[in-house]
Amino acid sequence: MNIAKVTLLLSCSLLSVVSMAQQRFAKELQLLNTAIEQKFLITGKGYYREHAEKQKDDRAVSYLWPLCGLIQAANEQELFSGKRGTFNRVFKVIDKYYDDRPPAPGYASYPPPHGGGDRFYDDNQWIGIALLDAWSRTGDKDYLNKGKMIYRFMMTAWDTATGGGLYWEEGNLKTKNTCSNGPGILLAMQLHKATGDKAFLDTAVLLYNWVNKHLQATDGLYYDNISIGTHKIDQRKYSYNTGTMLQSSLWLYEATGNAEYFQNAKRMADASLHYFYSSGKFRDSYWFNAVMLRAYQHLLKHTEDLKYLQAFAACTRHALQHEKRADGLMGKGKADLVGQSGMLEILARLAFLEKKFKF
């Protein structure tokens, strides 16, 4: 074999290796999606189960929270593949959790046909965010109308205790949380963009200012909640709380042109990069990190600096190498649906991004 042929074969081989490396997240996405459907979908009943292996306290079907992750992952899968159907299939399951009790319709934590449950504002907001993402992608007005319904429900959580802000759980007046205000800002901003109605922007600014006043730490990250009775701050820091506030800053910057919002976003991004990703592995749950990745992906519209994406991808690779189970699911110990849905969203987003960026 002559040198030219050897060179050609080596070049083709190298290109093949590079191509395989670039498609790592896409392949892992497909494998995890298959494992989730095999381990969590309850055949013939139109519901998912909470854990892959039944736990002592598990009920007949899953709570709503895991589906909040699964519906966003479905949106990202459709965006990546260009194929429709996955989002609506998951949303049909979520519709079984619809609860029209006063003061406003929303989604219960457990399906009313199986006994129902409390209603959490953040669960509803995560669904609303996914619906508005799907609306912007498809133009389906039903998604937009459902998003408006969720907004009406979430605003029943607002009052002037601690100067404003939204409660976390309906009827529970003990805390106001970053996790029920950050996604509330995002939903309001999505509705503002969709409708042009300034009332949504006003809501977003009101909530944004309240969270920054009461729950932002000096390093730019965010605490978990404030107690209504004592005003004591729960100082735990989770990636998803900073993620929603980082992305909120970007939405507000785009809507207003106020550079202060972008500066805030950069400060949060740098603080989160150091705190959550400098070790090379995830500090908290897959789903929490999926919410942070949404913010990092959004930030790419405004900067060519890939350091946030690169650090996040490194943590994902570490998880795939060290935390993948023999059955294809992710994580050590018991596998719950919310964790799997979080990793599914991460893989779908990274698979989409790896077509454009090298990280």
Nearest CA to 104 out of 160, 167, 148 is that of 148
Tokens at residue 21, please? 């490396």
More confident residue, 9 or 300: 300
- The pLDDT tens digits of the residues spanning 55-100 come to 999 999 999 999 999 999 999 999 999 999 999 999 999 999 999 9
> What are the structure tokens assigned to 344, written together?
């599914």
pLDDT at residue 78, rounded to an integer: 98
Query: Which residues fall within 8 angstroms of residue 263, CB to CB, at 6 or more apart?
Result: none
* Segments in 63-173 forming alpha helices (H): 64-81, 86-94, 121-138, 141-154
Write down the mean pLDDT value for the chain. Answer: 94
Q: CA 285 to CA 155: how far, in whole Å?
A: 28
Question: What is the pLDDT averaged over residues 324-329?
Answer: 96
Q: How far apart are CA 246 and CA 240, in angstroms?
A: 10
For residues 252 and 205, the answer to whether their CB atoms sit within 8 Å is yes
Q: How confident is the model at residue 13 (pLDDT cuts 50, 70, 90)?
A: very low
CA distance 135 to 142: 8
The HSE-up count of residue 242 (CA atoms within 13 Å, CB side) is 31
Task: Assign a CATH topology to domain 22-353.
Answer: Glycosyltransferase (1.50.10)
- pLDDT category at 22 given cuts 50, 70, 90 is low
Domain boundaries, the chain: 22-353
Q: What is the pLDDT of residue 359?
A: 87
Per-residue pLDDT reduced to its tens digit, 90-115: 999 999 999 999 999 999 999 999 99
- Convert the pLDDT of each residue in 239-278 to its tens digit: 999 999 999 999 999 999 999 999 999 999 999 999 999 9
pLDDT value at 192 more than 80: yes
Q: For residues 49 and 176, what is the distance between their CA atoms, to the nearest angstrom? A: 29
The predicted-structure confidence for 155-183, as pLDDT tens digits, reads as follows: 999 999 999 999 999 999 999 999 999 99
Q: β-strand 167-169 against 106-107: which pairing, if any?
A: unpaired
The confidence band for 1, taking pLDDT boundaries of 50, 70 and 90, is low
CB atoms within 10 A of CB 199: 12
DSSP category for residue 156? G
DSSP 328: S
Mean per-residue pLDDT, 176-193? 98
User: What pLDDT score does 18 carry?
Assistant: 40
| Residue 66: burial class (beta carbons within 10 Å; 0-12, 13-18, 19+) | buried
CA atoms within 13 A on the CB side of 204: 28
Tokens at 265, concatenated: 């976003």
Q: Which pLDDT value is given to residue 38?
A: 97
CA distance 69 to 80: 17
> Stretch 346-353: mean pLDDT, rounded?
98
Q: Name all contacts of 32-35 with Cβ < 8 Å and 24+ positions apart.
A: 32/328, 32/329, 32/330, 32/340, 32/343, 32/344, 32/347, 33/77, 33/344, 34/328, 35/327, 35/328, 35/329, 35/340
Listing DSSP states for 213-271 in one string gives: HHHB-TTS-BEEEEETTT--EEEEE-HHHHHHHHHHHHHHHHHH--HHHHHHHHHHHHH
- Residues of the chain with pLDDT > 90, as a percent, come to 92
- CA distances to 10, 27, 77, 299, 312 from 356, rounded to whole Å, are 25, 16, 16, 15, 16
The predicted structure's pLDDT at residue 2: 56
CA 331, 130, 216: angle at the middle one, nearest 5?
75
